Structure 1
Amino acid sequence: MAVLSKANGALLPVLLLLVEWIVLSRQPMPTAAAKRWHRRAVTVFLVIPSALVAVYLLYLLPGAIHDAPVTRGWTVGERLLTEARVLTDYLRLLVIPHANSSGLFNDAFPLSTGWLQPASTLPCVVLILALIGAGFALRKRHPAIALALLFYFTAQLMESGWIPLELYYEHRNYLPAMLLFWPIGLGLARPGKLRWAGVAAAGCILLVLGVLTWQRAGLWGDGTRQAQLWAAINPDSARAQANAALYDLAHDQPRLAIARLERSLPRHPDDIQAPINLIGAECRLGAVRRQTLEAAEYALARTRLGGQTAFNWFNDALEIAGKHSCEGLDFAALQAILDSVRRNPHWRDIPGRQQDLHHLQGQLDLAEGKPDAALGSFNRALAASPAPGPALEQAAYLGSHGYPSLGLAHLDYFATLPPGPKPGFGMPRIHAWVLRKQGWWPKETAYLRHTLETDAAERTAQTVK
């Protein structure tokens, strides 16, 4: 269940093995038979699953080395160097708690491109290695300290290792930090003449942490103030500035949002967050400037990230263009934006991105009254990455816009395509297996086909009349 909920749940047997090796193995077994059964249980339920996790992580390494420069813009080596500084910063936040932190927007965290670039990289690497070494060295004399250290760094393997995830997220510490302060708790609870001092210290710690939690909860309960604070703490984060601008727009302050995004745009010309949100802010005033559209085209032609963000934004922009409610944002402007996406070298070889691009082109074609061109674009979207979900969605889209016969033609085209690639290991593959066992897609396809055929027949009858 842990693995199905979150990928790092796969580390559970590794973490339990650490607990067994450092702490629980010290407890003697009552009989020799019990000891043998215990060893077998540890081997079957902890050692073998842990070995499988290690093999799986190693299996992911070649793909990570290949994909990271394309999808993230940094290498696995640069990521590992950077994560030493990230982990050090995590520890700083844990050891010295603050009411406020950088929050969810850490896209501007500096990348380590060498051992001394920035200069803090090497000291942080040495610190992390020293703490891990201390964990092994203290295993027999101070098992609580050893377990706290090794548990923390082991629990970071998935999200702070070589898998090319985002570099920094503070919430990744929830599980790793679970035992980090256990040794302090044991020390404060130690019996003796000075136990009262330990109790007093524990009370003070709880009081301070309670006040900090109250302050942080108050901030999280006020989205506007939180967005403004995070934008101030992270001036170089395009996401933080875009998030604050969205709150400005929600409070009917488009000029403030425009000013914020205009300051952010020169700092991140390749990031799509500022220009696409700037288009939305200017449209709130009735017109978008040509230079803003050009900034969006420039970013979309160069960005590595944000494909889903761009996809969702284009749907909203298409609706605005269809209503003619924003001067300058018309179908021609959206076509120029799609053309700029086609020039993006980072998305050119990603089937999912190409499918999105053709799908958006089909929507634009249909909005411009070119249904046959829309069918061609939707067919190219399926050819880029054949899958029943997009096929049904696009066929239904054609039918809902008055072209059920084209929707049927789209389904017929999908039937001629070879099966698409299987989903990757994990929940997507399990979900696909469940749908296949239920016969979900054949049933949905038959239902949609019947609906389109009925609609097409009605339209033909009306034409004859």
Structure 2
Amino acid sequence: MNSNKLTYVEALAFGALIACALLLFWPGVSGPFVFDDLPNLKAMQNADGAVDTLGEVKEFIFRGRAPARALSYLSFLVHDNAWPTDPRPFKIANILIHLLNGVLVFMLAKKLAQVIPTTGRQAIAFPLLATALWLLHPIHLSTMMLVVQRLVEISAMFTLAGLIAFVHGRAQVNDNPIKGYLWMSLGIGLGGPLAILGKGTGILIAVYAIVLEATVFRHAAGMRAPKYARLWFAIFTIAPLVLLLIYIGSRWERSALIFEHRRDFTIWERLLTEPRVLFNYIGQIFTLRLSGSGIYHADFPVSRGLFTPWTTLPALLGVLGSLAGAIALRRRWPIPAFAVLWFLGGHSLESTFLHLELYFEHRNYVPMLGPVLALSYGACRAARRYRPHIAILVAGFLVLEIATARHSAAIWGSEGRLAAVWAEENPSSVRARQTAADYWATRGHIDKARQELVEASTLNPNAVDVRLQVLFLDCVAMRDTEQTREWAFSIAQEASFSFATIDTIDHLIRQVKKGTCQTLDYDDIETLIDTLLENRNYGLYPEHRAKFWNYKAQLHYHQRALNPTIHALEKAFEADPRPQYAMQAASNLLSAGLPEPALEYLKRAEETNRNARLGGIFDEDLSDKIAALRAQAKAMQERKTSD
């Protein structure tokens, strides 16, 4: 085995590599918040301006769900004072985490160089080359510059750290079983849960460990399967994956609903499409194409059948053949098998049967490391016979990689260029048009923003969110909204689902309250909400029904209609029993001088607060706020009695 110590040459080269990456990606920090940043981080700023209390921290981190992603969301609170006006601290932190992950990639490659056959020079060149190819790749810009994808980075950080410990232990388990298994268990048993706290895909650390064992370790010299290996792998890798499948199965009914009402493809069409997506990822990784990158790929053609488009069947056969070949030939060609199995294993969740969108570049953050490691190793081995040729190829690819990353980082750093490039490269993407519209609207160019949205509507005539956004712009510009209102409302009954619809209704209510919407009033918005409640794509989900009923409560409250307000909040609570709805009903009743019915709603709020989602562990504890309302109600009762 090769020494694990860092030579002076390695340290100098690696330091230069980290500095190069920092300078390369730095221009992107001046870019805006985009896409999923706003909906996922908006809870960072409450009504009083920040996340201050322990309850607010718990609500932001867990957001009423199991603790997956908790560490990532906790990290965002470091910059809560910069939200939502200054993205720079968030993006700088993302770049620094990426550099840290580069350090971990280097350490993992160094560990692997001790296991696979390498000479002295190869043991130095292989980790450096692998780290350079991975660290500087422009595909990672969408992970760093899309702030919320810090989830991917933090999950990767603990995955890589866990795998370093696993490789360290596995390399010595035959000679020192206790120490070896201790390191292996620490790596997967601790690194895995921490990776999951970064993002749920951290569970795939188990898959990566299995791939390493089946390829690199199983066939390396002196690395025979250790005693109790099957038991260890059953406990630390197979069991977590079985639990994952059970969890997915328990939520499959909801997944089926999402496929039916939120996606324009079925599960089978997704399974047919993803092989083409995987080959597209490979092309993007190794050809470094400038166009077609970014975050908007909703226009990626869906495979409706084995021959629609014609590339579907070849891609499907290519993936299945690669998988079968890697498994069958892993003894003869362990390194190519490692590359294939690592990449496919890394995509086994997000690129298979889950109800996710089809295409996102950040899904390659860890999976692409397998092919990169294998290619780097192969290049170092080939350099023994073809050194000049390999040197030219490697240098050329790195120069191209750096140039492409620099160009892309400059685009990410300019909101105007970003919006223009995405709209130009993805002309049939509704989201790209919406991004361009938002850019123009925030700069006061309402007509340009409106034009972008109208064009987006022609791309997807069933997108009610786009039409409502046009209506919103007309309200902001204080134009006559009658024609736009009819145009927008006409498709509400059968419109496709979008979260933007829900948010836009909230914005419209505020505009009506301001009095800027000509020929649009509260009754019109209530009619729209009633129509959407009848639309199965929206009304089928309890949390969406509850939001719509809550909006109706706001409409009635603004019109000082108490009974309809309470009825709407009752319906919201019935759809999604959250204590907030009962508390709001109690607050409105107290404002009307009715403490007795208010106390009844507070009783329901207490019950749901106590029982909500794992006893409140992952939700904000509203006990103090409920107690304050109860004290107010009791005091009102006493005053009435004394009077």
Aligned in 2, Cα 1:178/1:450: closer, same or farther, shift over 3 Å?
farther
RCO higher in 1 or 2 (8 Å CA, sep ≥ 6)? 2
Pick the aligned partner of 1:6 from 186, 190, 199.
199
What aligned pairs does 1:262-411 form with structure 2 within 5 A after superposition? 262-306=454-498, 308-392=499-583, 395-396=586-587, 398=588, 403=591, 405=593, 409=597
Pick the aligned partner of 2:631 from 450, 454, 462.
450
SS in 2 for 1:412: helix
SS in 1 for 2:516: coil
Output the CA distance in 2 between the equivalents of 1:125 and 1:409.
62
Aligned in 2, Cα 1:380/1:61: closer, same or farther, shift over 3 Å?
closer
SS in 2 for 1:445: helix
Q: How much has 1:207 moved relative to structure 2?
A: 1.4
CA contact (8 A) 2:586 2:601 kept: no
Aligned in 2, Cα 1:435/1:180: closer, same or farther, shift over 3 Å?
same
Partner of 1:221: 413
Give CA-to-partner distance per residue, 1:276-299, whole Å, 9 cap, x none: 221222223211432321232234
Q: How much has 1:36 moved relative to structure 2?
A: 1.3
What aligned pairs does 1:59-98 form with structure 2 within 5 A after superposition? 64-65=255-256, 67-98=258-289
What aligned pairs does 1:405-420 form with structure 2 within 5 A after superposition? 405=593, 409=597, 412-413=600-601, 415=603
Aligned in 2, Cα 1:286/1:62: closer, same or farther, shift over 3 Å?
closer
Is 2:378 the counterpart of 1:197? no
Aligned in 2, Cα 1:285/1:62: closer, same or farther, shift over 3 Å?
closer
What aligned pairs does 1:20-39 form with structure 2 within 5 A after superposition? 20-27=213-220, 35-39=226-230
Q: Percent identity?
A: 24
- Partner AA of 1:161 in structure 2: T
CA contact (8 A) 2:292 2:426 kept: no
Partner of 1:237: 429
Unaligned residue ranges in structure 2 (runs of 5+): 1-193
Output the CA distance in 2 between the equivalents of 1:99 and 1:223.
18
SS in 2 for 1:347: helix
Output the CA distance in 2 between the equivalents of 1:303 and 1:289.
20
Is 2:477 the counterpart of 1:261? no
Q: Larger deviation: 133-142 or 243-252? A: 133-142
CA contact (8 A) 1:386 1:414 kept: no
Output the CA distance in 2 between the equivalents of 1:5 and 1:430.
20
Partner of 1:248: 440
Is 2:396 the counterpart of 1:208? no
Pick the aligned partner of 2:237 from 38, 41, 46.
46
Output the CA distance in 2 between the equivalents of 1:404 and 1:26.
77
Aligned in 2, Cα 1:430/1:101: closer, same or farther, shift over 3 Å?
farther
Q: How much has 1:165 moved relative to structure 2?
A: 1.1
Aligned in 2, Cα 1:333/1:213: closer, same or farther, shift over 3 Å?
same
Q: How much has 1:119 moved relative to structure 2?
A: 2.3
- Taking structure 1 as the reference length, what is the TM-score of the superposition? 0.86
CA contact (8 A) 1:159 1:172 kept: yes
SS in 2 for 1:269: coil
- Taking structure 2 as the reference length, what is the TM-score of the superposition? 0.64
Give CA-to-partner distance per residue, 1:259-315, whole Å, 9 cap, x none: 222222233121133212212222232114323212322343223422x42232222
Output the CA distance in 1 between the equivalents of 2:565 and 2:289.
54
Output the CA distance in 2 between the equivalents of 1:407 and 1:10.
50
Aligned in 2, Cα 1:341/1:266: closer, same or farther, shift over 3 Å?
same
CA contact (8 A) 1:361 1:374 kept: yes
Aligned in 2, Cα 1:50/1:339: closer, same or farther, shift over 3 Å?
closer
Give CA-to-partner distance per residue, 1:196-241, whole Å, 9 cap, x none: 4333332222211111111111111111211111112222221111
Unaligned residue ranges in structure 1 (runs of 5+): none
CA contact (8 A) 1:16 1:46 kept: yes
Give CA-to-partner distance per residue, 1:393-420, whole Å, 9 cap, x none: 5545x37xx8264687356236459977
- Partner AA of 2:630 in structure 1: R
Give CA-to-partner distance per residue, 1:81-138, whole Å, 9 cap, x none: 1222222222221121123424222223222221112222222212222222232233
